[in-house]
Structure 1
């Protein structure tokens, strides 16, 4: 993979990782479909990620995506899901970044996957947990469906943009990360007061 390919793959992976901070299973599901349909050109044959484009993997990810979308609309279940989704989002972010960077230098692949991919998904997931917590506290969970809808839309939009235009998605992801980090910092400062 040439340098331009590595940069585009990294941007796609980091953007998909950020999208998995909103919803864990949708970005891997759409990525697996895209790889299977040869829309995203990644050769996984003979790699440890070969299973990712198989029919069982696609079915499992699709069912998990639908279940996750629906579960976030059930009051208080959404808060319980956050405890499971937080580590899962980080793993999904790392995995997708590593998958789309397959064929690049393994050191570069895994450094970017772990630091940037895992970091992007952890930051977004942390902000969504905080947002849902505030919503649950101040509205007794009644506004959580609005939070869930906005997260669903963000995950779908960012995933599609990441697959269609990785450069645009990279810029969009950085903007989202900056906003989320500022929100986390302001929440911490207001809670310290």
Structure 2
């Protein structure tokens, strides 16, 4: 795997952490076990069966928790900083072994940043769903997010250019929404 491909896969998987924190590490572990993903030095442990089992259990608990009313909104409070941390960690696991300062700086900015932006978008969507449907629509949002995490993770590994295009589209959509909200606030003042 070449350097650019590793970076693209790392950023796309990091963005998927914004949907569900444990899905990208689960997919990475599974694919690494079968030899289709090269992990950076120090992250080889992710390609082991104990790691796969741990990520699988964590993923199942995380997905189930988002179907419990009001717990899902509480989880978003914890998930935002955690998604940024996991996004950074996932990116670092795939970025090439270069200068550690460069590697971790890129991981924080690109990986943590993309995970944080996607997580903020999903939190806003869930908050809107809670306000509009009194929480009854949140299970639909949770399902879409879970499917999105698995699809984006799979695309990141097998079709990285499509995955990074989707991530860029989501980031642009998120920024557009942010500017629309600011414009509405200015008009109301």
TM-score w.r.t. the length of structure 2 is 0.92
Matched, 1:55 2:52: no
Matching residue within 183, 187, 193 for 2:177: 183
Confirm or deny: 8 A CA contact 1:6 1:104 kept in the other structure. no
Q: Please state whether the residue corresponding to 2:136 is helix, strand or coil.
A: coil
Deviations 1:158-180 (A, max 9, x none): 10000102122111211111112
Hey, what's the Cα distance between the residues in 2 that align with 1:151 and 1:191? Answer: 28
Confirm or deny: 8 A CA contact 1:12 1:163 kept in the other structure. yes
Matching residue within 22, 32, 35 for 2:32: 35
Residues 63-82 of structure 1 aligned to structure 2 (within 5 Å): 63-82=57-76
Q: Alpha carbon RMSD of aligned pairs, Å? A: 1.7
Offset at residue 42 of structure 1 (A): 2.8
Hey, what's the Cα distance between the residues in 1 that align with 2:133 and 2:91? Answer: 36
Matching residue within 145, 150, 153 for 1:156: 150
Offset at residue 154 of structure 1 (A): 1.1
Hey, what's the Cα distance between the residues in 1 that align with 2:106 and 2:160? Answer: 15
Q: Please state whether the residue corresponding to 1:22 is helix, strand or coil.
A: coil
Confirm or deny: 8 A CA contact 2:66 2:142 kept in the other structure. yes
Confirm or deny: 8 A CA contact 1:10 1:112 kept in the other structure. no
Q: 2:14 is matched with which residue?
A: 17
Matched, 1:121 2:115: yes
Hey, what's the Cα distance between the residues in 2 that align with 1:168 and 1:153? Answer: 16
Confirm or deny: 8 A CA contact 1:127 1:184 kept in the other structure. no
Question: Which residues of structure 1 form unaligned runs of 5+?
Answer: none
Hey, what's the Cα distance between the residues in 2 that align with 1:29 and 1:98? Answer: 16
Offset at residue 191 of structure 1 (A): 4.5
Question: Which residues of structure 2 form unaligned runs of 5+?
Answer: none
User: Could you tell which deviates more after superposition, 21-30 or 181-190?
Assistant: 181-190
TM-score w.r.t. the length of structure 1 is 0.90
